[in-house]
Amino acid sequence: MFERYEKQINYEKIGRKGQEKLQKSKVLIVGCGALGTVTANNLVRMGIGHVRIVDRDFVELTNLHRQILFDEEDVSEDRPKAKAAEEKLRKINSEIRIEGIVKEVNSRTIEGFIDGMDLIVDCTDNFKTRFLINDVAFKNNLPWIYGGALGTSGMVKVFIPEEKNGCLQCMIPKPPDSGALPTCDTAGVVNTLTGIVGSLESNEALKYLLGRKEEVENDLLFLDLWDNTFKKISQGKKDDCPCCVRKIYTYLEDKKPEATYICGQNSIQINLGHDHMNLEEIQKRLEDKNIPTRRNPFLLSFEAEGVETKLFKDGRAIMKNAKNEEVAKSIYAKYIGY
């Protein structure tokens, strides 16, 4: 069992006892894009005993330049990222438990995903989800690792509830307004950056899971690969922080369904809180209207009014080329039904 981990066991700060700790560890990875595929690949190869990956999305051609677990076959078959990653990772390490969950992480679902986990790794592309992770982590006394990447600039930060370096809301009081920050659509992203940021997140996860909390990075680590610059920015706990001091979990308590913009796809996701959608029945209804469809075990695809729609079993729909939320909701209501 330990043979495959021989080289890392030989490292003095891991050893056989450290490897045994890793194999008893459980990690939740939120998001399976560029950072998520790198992190999942690293943790699975390390021998983390249970890796749970949650992602709402499916594989597209534009993902392949940086999302290392996917290939062209995944694109052609509209495979959900979480399931495609699970399939690849099982071939890498069959000795551990790997879960790929095709669901959205939101205020209604996240507490189910953290059940039994030791650590959360943020591999998302939006601040609203990060604030939600921050809430659920501090409410449940779970450490989490923040990672971000855009252009050639990246950031990594570890948040441990019992430590004195605060939480995400101490660092950023509220999520930036929609449209206030550049996205990978407008600013792009270089795959060397996502590889490094994902590996830095994995490395901090490794130190924490080994029980070496004193060696976990407490500062915000900022890097720019174009300039080859690395900076550490110190942060402390704010005395009036709503989350880690006053224990008000605003983002976790907001249970309303919503529409969200998806970075890099010119897409809007509609999530109306449905469950167990009958994709076969909906497919028949659409084809009766002469709307071509494609269906696999996970989702139904169709195009109407110039908008490409991917409908998942849980009622979520990712709608590409929808001009705004109103258009997306209108098409959802017209062709799928509320």
286 phi and psi angles, rounded to 5 deg: -70, -45
Instruction: Give the per-residue pLDDT at 163.
Output: 84
Q: How far apart are CA 192 and CA 11, in angstroms?
A: 26
Least reliable range by pLDDT among 6-15, 118-127, 228-237, 320-329: 320-329
pLDDT in tens, 131-166: 999 999 999 999 999 999 999 999 999 999 988 889
pLDDT in tens, 190-217: 999 999 999 999 999 999 999 999 999 9
- Which 3 state secondary structure label does DSSP give 335? helix
pLDDT in tens, 28-42: 999 999 999 999 999
Instruction: Give the per-residue pLDDT at 177.
Output: 60
Q: How far apart are CA 204 and CA 214, in angstroms?
A: 11
Instruction: Give the per-residue pLDDT at 248.
Output: 97
Are 166 and 238 contacting, i.e. CB atoms less than 8 angstroms apart? yes
Cα–Cα distance list, 172 to 17, 20, 168 (Å): 38, 37, 6
pLDDT in tens, 243-292: 999 999 999 998 766 677 777 678 899 886 666 788 998 999 899 889 99
Instruction: Give the per-residue pLDDT at 179.
Output: 47
| Higher pLDDT among residues 146 and 125, named by residue | 146
Listed in sequence order, the residues at least 6 apart from 77 whose beta carbon sits closer than 8 Å to its beta carbon are 296
94: pLDDT strictly greater than 50: yes
| Backbone torsion region of residue 78, taken as left when φ is above 0, otherwise alpha when ψ lies between -120 and 50, otherwise beta | left
Q: How far apart are CA 184 and CA 150, in angstroms?
A: 6
185: pLDDT strictly greater than 60: no
For the chain, domain boundaries: 3-253, 258-335
What is the average pLDDT score of the chain?
Answer: 92
99 phi and psi angles, rounded to 5 deg: -115, 125
Instruction: Give the per-residue pLDDT at 228.
Output: 96
Containing 129, the helix (H) or strand (E) segment is helix 127-139
Q: How far apart are CA 175 and CA 83, in angstroms?
A: 30
Residues 3-253, CATH architecture: 3-Layer(aba) Sandwich (3.40)
Residues 258-335, CATH architecture: 2-Layer Sandwich (3.30)
In this structure, what DSSP letter does residue 207 have? H
Instruction: Give the per-residue pLDDT at 274.
Output: 60
**Any idea how long the chain is?**
338
In one-letter notation, the amino acid at residue 91 is K
Are 243 and 249 contacting, i.e. CB atoms less than 8 angstroms apart? yes
Are 265 and 67 contacting, i.e. CB atoms less than 8 angstroms apart? no
**Highest mean pLDDT: which of 1-5, 181-185, 244-248, 272-276?**
244-248
Q: Which residue is it, tokens 């050639």? A: 152
In one-letter notation, the amino acid at residue 17 is K
**How many distinct helices (H) and strands (E) make up the chain?**
13, 14
pLDDT in tens, 52-89: 999 988 999 999 999 999 999 999 999 999 999 999 99
Are 26 and 50 contacting, i.e. CB atoms less than 8 angstroms apart? yes
